[in-house]
Amino acid sequence: MEIGKVTIADVQDALRARRISARELTEEALRTAREENPKTNAYLLLAEDRALQAADAVDAALGRGEDPGPLAGVPVAVKDNIVTRGVRTTCGSRLLEKFVPPYDATAVERLERAGAIVLGKTNCDEFAMGSSNENSAFGPVRNPVAPDRVPGGSSGGSAAAVAQGTAVAALGSDTGGSIRQPASFCGVVGLSPTYGRVSRYGLVAFASSLDRIGPLTRTVRDAALLLQAIAGRDERDSTSSSAPVPDYTAAMTGEARGLRIGVPREFFEGLTPETAAQMEKARTLLASLGCELREISLPHTPYAIPCYYIVCTAEASSNLARYDGVRYTWRAPQAETLAEMYAMTRGQGFGAECKRRIMLGTYVLSAGYYDAYYLKAQKVRTLITRDFLNAFGQVDAIATPVSPFPAFRLGEKLDDPLQMYLSDIFTITASLAGLPALSVPCGRTPDGLPVGLQLIGPHFGEPVLFRLGEAFERAGGGSL
């Protein structure tokens, strides 16, 4: 079985028809990952023992004639900021190089309960802060489609593993676009679910009012199946929603006729010509599916970058305060006093981008600047959210590019943090508003670089995104 080509349904058919055992499949997946990983550095660790144990449990269930679960035997890669009991979880940081969590994230627990096999942990920007995966302490990830280019970030390892074929699906996390942008750069599907749809318990906190866990997969259907397994209220995350989880596969009717799609004019400025050309093809395809395209305006979009980078850095500076040399594995050896222990551990342990964000966040929260920056940003966040709520009075979903440009070269934007921040322009508005957003492949540029179409839905509007995304995919959206 070719791990690099199969979908979740293929794995289910093969297992249930006994063409292959879960153990054989897992061994094959581990072998593929071991052989192929040096090309991309997508995995930081392969959890061989845990994976084989889980596989044996699936085989045992099948042997007893029991249902091994909807994701039985599916090799899944998990971003390394999602904790796994007994399996090292580094968040791409030197500070956590030896951190072995004492518990599992709820999303991981639910994946395994559904029969999935956690194959390993994937590389990411340090504490999920970055848009290129170049901020990992353990080396950048290369884009499997174009090895001299970045895979996007911060869930770059998860996107690369799925694109490279060393996992069938992956979990990532998305704070400002960290699932959607790498999915678009690597040519796979990525979903940032509604805020609160998936428990954040066990997701190492970056910006708690924005962080989400979501799937990266080869098909829209697989993203729906993964979300089905991990969504729903969790008492251990008070911000997780108790809204009922619908049957996502039932939403995928194969057609999208009559759906009203908003096309916000602010999202079509500053695109490279290649990305603009793919978006034009996407519009034509959506129209040919019977969707009604309406030009709309989300007027506060130009303020989203400053708003986002104030809110997220403020929350990050608070969340990252816990890495102080007391509880988490690493302490600067030279420190002699308590104050030195804090400052040196953090100064030597964090990479440049984390330091920059801690500094920005501390500054915007500090006495004298709180009102001008943090409170102001929270008010602008209300305005950005209102733009969307108004729009969803007239349309069922919104279609935009995921990124103004396709994957850029390694090192290209590394020395200009503001330019890197500005590249998140199209993903962060939905993040601020807590809306679900799906990135689906939208063909390639003449140079062969993948482009992604972003579909944004109303709160808990995942069903319409799956319906639309699957119809788009089925109509050939991926090879436009």
Partner 1 sequence: MKITEQEVRHVAALAHLELSGEELHRMTRELDEILAHMDRLRELDTDSVEPMAQVLFPGAENSTLREDEPREPLSHEDAMANAPAAGAGHFKVPRVIER
Residue 403 token pair: 């990124």
Alpha-carbon distances of 402 from 411, 465, 480, rounded to whole Å: 21, 14, 16
3-state SS assignment for residue 191: strand
Residue 112 vs 237, nearer CB to partner 1: 237
Verify whether residue 5 is a known catalytic residue: no
| Rounded CA separation 166/44 (Å) | 13
Q: Report the C-alpha gap between 192 and 455 in whole angstroms.
A: 10
Tokens representing 461?
């509007």
Among residues 127 and 421, whose Cβ is nearest to partner 1? 421
Rounded least distance, CB 244 to partner 1, Å: 9
Whether 79 is catalytic is yes
Whole-number Å distance between alpha carbons of 78 and 182: 15
> Least separation, in Å, of the C-beta of 32 and partner 1?
32
Nearer to partner 1, 416 or 447 (CB): 416
Q: Exactly one of 21, 79, 155, 439 is catalytic; name it.
A: 79
Of 327, 118, 107, residue with least CA distance to 236: 107
Q: How far apart are CA 118 and CA 108, in angstroms?
A: 8
Q: Which of 21, 131, 178, 317 is catalytic?
A: 178
The span from the CA of 37 to the CA of 30, in Å, is 10
Are 469 and 476 within 8 A, CB to CB? no
Question: DSSP character for 436?
Answer: -
CA–CA dist 291, 41 (Å, integer): 40
Alpha helices in 320-460 (DSSP H): 338-349, 352-365, 376-391, 417-422, 428-433
Which of 366, 390 has the CB closer to partner 1? Answer: 366
Residue whose tokens read 């969590």: 101
Q: How far is the CB of 450 from partner 1 (least distance, A)?
A: 29
CB nearer partner 1, residue 172 or residue 325: 325
Q: How far is the CB of 449 from partner 1 (least distance, A)?
A: 28
Rounded CA-CA distance 310/305 in Å is 9
Question: Could you tell me whether strands 450-456 and 212-217 are parallel, antiparallel, or unpaired per DSSP bridges?
Answer: unpaired
Identify the helix (H) or strand (E) that includes residue 14: helix 8-16
Give least dist CB 396 to partner 1, A: 17
The residue (of 294 and 355) whose beta carbon lies closer to partner 1 is 355
Going 48 to 49 to 54 to 55, the CA torsion angle's sign is positive
CB of 54 vs partner 1, minimal distance in Å = 21
Smallest gap from residue 102 Cβ to partner 1 (A): 4
Between 462 and 473, name the residue whose CB sits nearer to partner 1. 462
Of 21, 131, 132, 154, the active-site residue reads: 154
| Residues identified as active-site | 79, 154, 178
